[in-house]
Amino acid sequence: MSKNKIIKILNQASRTKEDLVYLLSFYDKDERQLIYDKSKEIRRKYIGNTIYLRGLIEYSNICAKDCFYCGIRANNKEVTRFTISDADVLKSAEYAYKHNYASLVLQSGEIISKAFTKKITSLLKQIHILTKNSLAITLSCGEQSLKTYKEWYDAGAHRYLLRIESSNKSLYKQIHPNNSKHNFDKRLAALYNLKKIGYQVGTGFMIGLPKQTVEDLADDLLFLKEFNIDMVGMGPYVEHIDTPLYASRNELLSQEKRYLLTLMMYALLRIEMKDINVASTTALDALNPNGRVEALDIASNVLMPNLTPLKYNENYHLYNNKPDSLHADKLVQYIEKHKHLHGNKIGFGEQGSSQHFYKRIHLKRTTIAKNKKES
């Protein structure tokens, strides 16, 4: 009976919160497979079988935030802090350029200062000069002012990932300190600013947090849809021993259930938002050694080989048991090991912009033109 109901819900034009909660309640293999198969069908139909590369540079683990779940939080004194030199950043960017990646991600802890803003602006300009403007660049550098976002956009970063971690304001407060640096409304406003400027906007959340419910997760999916997001980076919550939230580890779902719940969220996200870009995150491999590959098979279409120089890698641990990063020099072996990623192909030389973004921008421009004509 449940299979018939699942099929009926999946074939609807849209799903309610109650529908999503129902689908998220299944751990049975056969029932889950129905949802996975629907996700695969939609993925192939709307975005094809290309996996886009994003060369990841973990630029700095210095952070002004003190989020209760994060291993590089400001008050963690066990971390050796670093900022990669300009020369090493450019060397990594050159690697991406020469190996035909076509896309780069510059990620860091959250720092708000004139010096940091200026440094990122300078790096963006240098990267574009070095690579002849051939790389699409995504930034993931936290909450910043509208002015800073605009400066970075003008310097050549046209994609931005700012994870909200939970769309439930109450849960957000439980996993962050209660102060002005960790404000849900500010986070949301930053996302709107990014969209206003014209970025391809990405966000995401953690799955399996203490006190998080399937209702919360259903709301997260609906939030992404309502916000009309262009790309998503989400993954399972994996605890870190040097964080306050580690004290709640006994309240967590098992690693297996967190993993299965995450795959289900990937599948449902693809079903709900057919043409967005979805990254297969490293945290999946912390719970299952084949996690990223399974997510790519089911729903996601972005893979992020790590270009961070190895000497810095061990100090960018957001959670415990961070798996060995997929370093760029091991990409070919990775593809061979996993049987060419279940029939998907790597999009070398393709920037892989979000199809959803272009449709959203086109609709916006069409609406503006129509309104001007009518007025």
Which amino acid appears at position 288 of this protein? N
What pTM value is reported for the model? 0.94
pLDDT of residue 66: 97
Domain count, the chain: 1
- Average pLDDT on 268-273 reads 98
State how far the Cα of 290 lies from the Cα of 32, in Å rounded to an integer.
Answer: 17
pLDDT > 90? residue 228: yes
To the nearest whole number, what is the mean pLDDT of the chain?
92
State how far the Cα of 184 lies from the Cα of 196, in Å rounded to an integer.
Answer: 19
- Average pLDDT on 56-68 reads 96
pLDDT of residue 331: 75
pLDDT of residue 39: 97
State how far the Cα of 124 lies from the Cα of 129, in Å rounded to an integer.
Answer: 9
pLDDT of residue 266: 98
pLDDT of residue 329: 73
Rounded alpha-carbon distances, angstroms, from residue 239 to 73, 130, 168, 236, 250: 13, 39, 20, 10, 11
Sorting pLDDT into bands at 50, 70 and 90, what band is 222?
very high
Angle between helices 114-130 and 86-98 (to 10 degrees): 30
pLDDT of residue 364: 72
Task: Report pLDDT digits (tens) over 102-134.
Answer: 999 999 999 999 999 999 999 999 999 999 999
346 forms beta bridges with 51
- Average pLDDT on 144-153 reads 98
Task: Report pLDDT digits (tens) over 316-345.
Answer: 666 566 655 667 777 767 777 776 677 888
State how far the Cα of 209 lies from the Cα of 21, in Å rounded to an integer.
Answer: 16
State how far the Cα of 147 lies from the Cα of 179, in Å rounded to an integer.
Answer: 23
pLDDT > 80? residue 215: yes
Which position has the higher pLDDT, 217 or 369? Answer: 217
Domain that holds residue 237: 2-374
Q: Identify which of 91-100, 337-346, 361-370 has the greatest average pLDDT.
A: 91-100
Angle at 357 (CA atoms; ends 334, 118), nearest 5 degrees? 80
- CATH classification of the domain holding 356: 3.20.20.70
Task: Report pLDDT digits (tens) over 182-207.
Answer: 999 999 999 999 999 999 999 999 99
Contacts of 360 (CB under 8 A, 6+ apart): 228, 230
